[in-house]
Structure 1
Amino acid sequence: MATKVMEVVKGLDLKRYMGRWYEIACFPSRFQPSDGVNTRATYTLGDDGAIRVLNETWSGGKRSFIEGTAYKADPNSDEAKLKILSRKNDMDDEIYKELVEKAKDEGYDVSKLQKTPHTNPAPEGEGPEDTKGVWWLKSLLGK
């Protein structure tokens, strides 16, 4: 748990934030499969200002996904809280170590941080879908 208050991004340019981002590392979550690879998020800005979110991961060779919509918590503010992601599906080890050290300095317990495996090249298209249910629901049920 962080001991400091997270600083917010000021003057966020939403259009620059749109597109595909790859998860480089994460803390284990019951909402994601433990064997997930190639985890990524794609953000699309709608005409109404809402952000369409597509989260994808591959588990057992099948694509699982969840779609949603994000909004700024305060539309009148130029501040935003964001998750650290990367435009590429890999990261230089030295940069990764620096970012982990920065998180540690901010008070985060990085001992449970796990790097997310990615294949090169990254999967294109949607691939076969997981027909047994969405991954986050299955993870809640421990399957």
Structure 2
Amino acid sequence: MLIKPLLISLSLAILAGCSSSPANYAETITGVTEQGKASFYADKYHGRLTANGEKFDQQAMTAAHKQLPFNSKVKVTNTANNRAVVVRVNDRGPFIRGRIIDLTKHAFEQLAEPNLGVINVTVEVID
């Protein structure tokens, strides 16, 4: 499974954080991929603060991930139709078992119809 390489890369990233060069951290996670399920935020979260202190905006191209550093850019691809978006991580979550990323409604709509609610995706760190 692709989770093991992510855990290895994140472990390396933590170790790289002990070095004097923050660029090492980005290099260790770029290209890391994982597969799982994606969903989108409920409207009630619009305007609330995200984990990094920003106001949540349903129309932005942002996402929540449990472990990736804030401001990481990831390519999220719907495995059913190959549609892809690039989003920036600015929040933590999702906190529902089996889900690996929560997207804004706008980002999710680029990948699939919102009435699906949850889709299978590949997430790749690109920056």
TM-score using structure 2 length: 0.28
| Higher CA-based Rg | 1
The answer to which structure has the higher helix fraction is: 2
Say which structure, 1 or 2, has more relative contact order (CA 8 Å, 6+ apart).
1
TM-score using structure 1 length: 0.26
